[in-house]
Structure 1
Amino acid sequence: MAAKKNILLIIADDLGRNLGVCGESKIKTPNLDDLAAQGTYFDMAFASTASCSGSRSVIQSGLHTHETGQLGLLRGFQGLHYFTTFDHVETSPKVFNSLGYLTGIINKVHVGPAECYPWRVREESSTRDVAWTAQRSAAFFERAKEEDKPFFLTVGYIDPHRDLTRGGFGNTQDYPGVEHLPYDPKDVTIPFFLSDVPEVRQELAEYYSAVWRMDQGVGMLLQELHRAGLDESTLVMFTSDNGPPFVNSKSTLYDAGVRLPMIIRTPGCTPGIVNPNLVSFIDILPTFLNWAGFANVKGNRKGRSVLSIMSETSPLDDWGQVFGSHTFHELTAYYPTRYMRTKRFKYHRNVAWQLDFPFPGDLYGAVSWEGMRNAEPAMIGKRPVANYIKRGPEELFDLENDPEEVHNLANDPEYNETLLDMRKALEAWQLETEDPWFFRDGISTRVIFNHIDAGMKMPDRWDFDVNSPGSKDGAIMPHSFKEVRGRGAM
């Protein structure tokens, strides 16, 4: 009988590149730094979107949010939104249940509906008691041993997400066996995407404490895996769903929102690898299937297993670009945008660029934002507030010279060839993934593909022009829609 190939997926909530292995020197993260030292740290790992539910649906499906239907948050305390995953999507619990695995999720879930994510063990909780999470995981490990089945367990921490106060991160409650570590605001590192004002420093100090609590939880969890004798049969992956819960990061597709820590440890892997290749969250489920010995279970996923490049320390030509999509955060926070990232350049296509960029409710109410908006001048990091709220239809950034994504080169003639190449590549990706937000003349081409295929002429432009509404000089769209013919309008 083949050896069991187990999977432990650990997801932090709203954690950015805030670990020692990422270069952060002020936050104590010994357990995750140690995990990275035992395996591979992917330094260029990218979420498809920067919103909790959407990103988790990508992790659990290998599909982008415009493919899963999880276009925004599953739910919130306001009860204003309830985005869900399409029932036909093959999620990881569906797939691994069919492969004979014991599947489970403990603590944060935040995707739905339950029928689409049929974990056999589901212990959903909003607790920040990381010791409880480790104890429940230990019980899951024992159940897998009793049932003599390989397992796939997801552990979703609440930390370091904000709590429901204006500047808090859940640090007011004590948990047995969990140490609280306070930080001094004067000692924090101001990240490039925030401004150095007192309110930001105070919130970062609280955020650091929540990161430390989460790191303790990871240490406890891995100890339970070791006690169960399952280290040598388990792939362990750690990542986050999106960037830190601050403006200019969470809910944006700027790097601060989507470039995240990803660590993978497999039995016998080469330790201490820092991998520079660009990997995407759509690669996570294919990696798990590859590890489990079911690489032939493809579905309609476009991602690839990263196991073959685990030991790489140099960039590879065919791992040099990633894509992503964001449409909603909350129901009222609509801003459809798509991105393409290479090693050097970042391209954004803002579909509804005429709209103001929306604030997630928790970020708008944060004291850090209040401090930045009332400063003179009003800046968010190096970005003027006006440039954060008002964005053009396209953004192009040279990340070698502008890692903060502040200087938009979309209208710079020197970069026109790069712009056109990335625009073309992103639109090809939109067509390949049947993105409903592939717009022409102000309308989704997905809802009129039958007319396009019938030879309808329309202006080949993104937005409708009220000053020139005619279509007499339009063109037959050059794109093929044969792959979606017969599905009906969305």
Structure 2
Amino acid sequence: MIPTRILLSLLFAALAHLAAAADKPNIILFVSDDHGMDALGCYGNPVIKTPNMDRLAEEGVRFTQAYCTSASCAASRSVILTGKFGHGTGSYGHTHDYHHFSTFADQKSLPVLLEEEGYHTARIGKYHLAPESVYRFNTTLQADPRSTIEMATACKDVINQDKPFFLYFCPDDPHRGHPFKPDPWDAPNSFGNTPGGYPGEKVVEYDPADVIVPPFLPDTKECREEMAQYYQSVSRIDQGLGKLQKLLKKAGKTDNTIIIYISDNGIAFPGAKTTVYEPGIKLPCIVKDPRSPKQGLVNNAMISWADLTPTLLDFAGADFDADAFHGRSFKKILNKKNPKGWNEIYASHIFHEITMYYPMRVVREGNYKLIWNVAYRQPYPFASDLWAASTWQGIHRAEKEYFGNRKVSDYLFRAEFELYDLSKDPNELNNLALDDKHADLLTKMQDKIKAFQIETRDPWQIIWGNESQVQGTGVNL
């Protein structure tokens, strides 16, 4: 028989654990698929209808310089849920189908860490991660990932439970829809839109003449028609976000649920997705912490998706080793407009599809940005959906010199180093690395990339000085 004092001790410990769990905020991480900063009202687009995203920004914090670290779905999502760059975890590219990339089995992901903190973890929609043992959730919910209202409705039981919950909510929108190759070639992609819409959806259509074509894209009939479809898909995401918020309110959970809205990478057009140019990696990030007394703030700190896992653990009140992550928590600077020490980010891309080997490393410090194209001798590879897009084919078939504001030849064939001053050249067209006057700046930025690679155990750091000829020397970093 167990002594009474031990039973009481166990009881008090259990009650203390339950009390601590009750004080923990619920967390919803809403990750859209291929949504750039170009298509949200709260980020300055006067045409797109995103009332729920806009309201979230009015009630929370809108980041202006938030970056994914790789503009590719699976690689980006691995960073979101580990707090580590993909080159350090084996998450080099896509996990699904014939690509087969997989995170190292010894990694510990955000849902696993939050489960240890007493959270019930649930996911719905796009997963695109492997292995399951690393990215383990307590509950996997089922719904059409294009029907965000159906997805939100499926989350009702998770929201209504007594335990604190972490909900990873990932629609397929506004990713391009299947089939990627249109027939005829100049037909716009559907971006998941369907005639009549999905259950509960209020279809919001856009006139191609009204859309705002970003400068990196061609202002053509094909591009405008695809942008209109893209906008419609974004408006469907917004309705799902609104449904989630209604369910939270009905459950009495609004005041204790943190909502973070982000995208995995930029818009699914050439010049954005799969690239490390600004349209590919600079993304929307809206954080609403209802416990904060301040609302409607703008935060200009440079953050990256490597910062998300430590930040969410911080929100959860977890006791964690900050040195275990490549990123850092931005919880303490959430309500500051221009916090000091947040003016530098890094990016690391290796693959999109398995056939698209094109490693790139990036550092941005203040207004200066350096891209190292490790495999610069190769032509820049196309994702299958971007190559087939009528927006690209319209330029390719007509043999046009320019795609948007960039020469087609410059898009396909990159210099080894691209150095830009974004304050003067926001479209990244004037490569300062080709000008000897900026040699010292180039060296400084190269040194930053080298230090970053060593710190994050990047295997590609060995390429420096070897002109890509040394392949695997067994060097112990």
TM-score by length of 1: 0.88
Task: Measure the CA separation in 2 of the matches of 1:89 and 1:236.
Answer: 25
Specify the alignment match of 1:10 in structure 2. Answer: 30
SS of the residue 2:322 aligns to: coil
Query: Quick one: which of 169, 172, 176 aligns to 2:191?
Result: 169
Unaligned runs of 5+ in 1: 451-480, 485-490
2:76 matched to 1:55? yes
Query: Quick one: which of 259, 284, 288 aligns to 2:312?
Result: 288
2:224 matched to 1:182? no
**How much does 1:36 deviate?**
0.5
**How much does 1:80 deviate?**
2.5
Task: Measure the CA separation in 2 of the matches of 1:422 and 1:295.
Answer: 34
Task: Measure the CA separation in 2 of the matches of 1:320 and 1:217.
Answer: 33
Q: Which moved more, 1:299-308 or 1:337-346?
A: 299-308
Unaligned runs of 5+ in 2: 1-18, 183-188
Cα deviation digits, residues 133-174 of structure 1 (max 9, x gap) = 1111112112x32xxx21111000111111013322121242
Instruction: Mark the CA change 1:424 to 1:119 in structure 2 (over 3 Å): closer, same or farther.
Output: same
Instruction: Mark the CA change 1:117 to 1:25 in structure 2 (over 3 Å): closer, same or farther.
Output: same
Preserved contact between residue 143 and residue 151 of structure 2 (Cα < 8 Å): no
TM-score by length of 2: 0.90
Task: Measure the CA separation in 2 of the matches of 1:40 and 1:177.
Answer: 29
**How much does 1:372 deviate?**
2.4
SS of the residue 2:312 aligns to: helix
Task: Measure the CA separation in 2 of the matches of 1:208 and 1:222.
Answer: 21
Query: Quick one: which of 428, 436, 456 aligns to 1:405?
Result: 428
**How much does 1:175 deviate?**
1.7
Opposite residue 59 of structure 1, the aligned amino acid is I
**How much does 1:7 deviate?**
0.9
Opposite residue 8 of structure 1, the aligned amino acid is I
Query: Quick one: which of 126, 149, 161 aligns to 1:131?
Result: 149
**How much does 1:81 deviate?**
1.2
**How much does 1:183 deviate?**
0.7
Specify the alignment match of 2:414 in structure 1. Answer: 391
Preserved contact between residue 134 and residue 220 of structure 1 (Cα < 8 Å): yes
**How much does 1:330 deviate?**
0.5
Specify the alignment match of 2:255 in structure 1. Answer: 232
Specify the alignment match of 1:414 in structure 2. Answer: 437
Query: Quick one: which of 58, 63, 72 aligns to 1:37?
Result: 58
Opposite residue 149 of structure 2, the aligned amino acid is A
Instruction: Mark the CA change 1:103 to 1:385 in structure 2 (over 3 Å): closer, same or farther.
Output: same
Preserved contact between residue 248 and residue 256 of structure 1 (Cα < 8 Å): yes
2:177 matched to 1:155? no
Specify the alignment match of 1:361 in structure 2. Answer: 384
- For 1:342-361, what aligned pairs fall within 5 Å after superposition? 342-361=365-384
Specify the alignment match of 2:473 in structure 1. Answer: 448
SS of the residue 2:178 aligns to: coil
Instruction: Mark the CA change 1:446 to 1:122 in structure 2 (over 3 Å): closer, same or farther.
Output: farther
**How much does 1:449 deviate?**
5.1
Task: Measure the CA separation in 2 of the matches of 1:413 and 1:50.
Answer: 30
Preserved contact between residue 150 and residue 199 of structure 2 (Cα < 8 Å): no
Opposite residue 163 of structure 1, the aligned amino acid is G
2:101 matched to 1:83? yes
2:266 matched to 1:252? no
Instruction: Mark the CA change 1:247 to 1:33 in structure 2 (over 3 Å): closer, same or farther.
Output: same
Query: Quick one: which of 66, 72, 76 aligns to 2:87?
Result: 66
User: How many residues get paired?
Assistant: 444
Instruction: Mark the CA change 1:346 to 1:260 in structure 2 (over 3 Å): closer, same or farther.
Output: same
Task: Measure the CA separation in 2 of the matches of 1:397 and 1:427.
Answer: 18
Task: Measure the CA separation in 2 of the matches of 1:126 and 1:337.
Answer: 34
Preserved contact between residue 67 and residue 304 of structure 2 (Cα < 8 Å): yes
Preserved contact between residue 24 and residue 317 of structure 2 (Cα < 8 Å): no
Preserved contact between residue 258 and residue 290 of structure 2 (Cα < 8 Å): yes
Preserved contact between residue 109 and residue 124 of structure 1 (Cα < 8 Å): no
Cα deviation digits, residues 430-451 of structure 1 (max 9, x gap) = 011010111141459894354x
SS of the residue 2:99 aligns to: coil
Task: Measure the CA separation in 1 of the matches of 2:83 and 2:375.
Answer: 26
Specify the alignment match of 1:305 in structure 2. Answer: 329
Opposite residue 256 of structure 1, the aligned amino acid is P
Opposite residue 175 of structure 2, the aligned amino acid is H
Query: Quick one: which of 285, 299, 315 aligns to 1:275?
Result: 299
Cα deviation digits, residues 406-432 of structure 1 (max 9, x gap) = 111102122222211111011100011
Opposite residue 458 of structure 2, the aligned amino acid is D
Task: Measure the CA separation in 2 of the matches of 1:389 and 1:274.
Answer: 36
Specify the alignment match of 2:8 in structure 1. Answer: none
Cα deviation digits, residues 47-85 of structure 1 (max 9, x gap) = 00000001011000000110121111111xxx3212111
Task: Measure the CA separation in 1 of the matches of 2:142 and 2:93.
Answer: 20
Preserved contact between residue 256 and residue 291 of structure 2 (Cα < 8 Å): no
Specify the alignment match of 2:3 in structure 1. Answer: none
2:460 matched to 1:424? no
**How much does 1:375 deviate?**
4.5
Instruction: Mark the CA change 1:51 to 1:394 in structure 2 (over 3 Å): closer, same or farther.
Output: same
**How much does 1:26 deviate?**
1.2
Cα deviation digits, residues 70-122 of structure 1 (max 9, x gap) = 111111xxx32121111111111121122221011011111111111110111
Task: Measure the CA separation in 2 of the matches of 1:299 and 1:416.
Answer: 33
SS of the residue 2:341 aligns to: helix
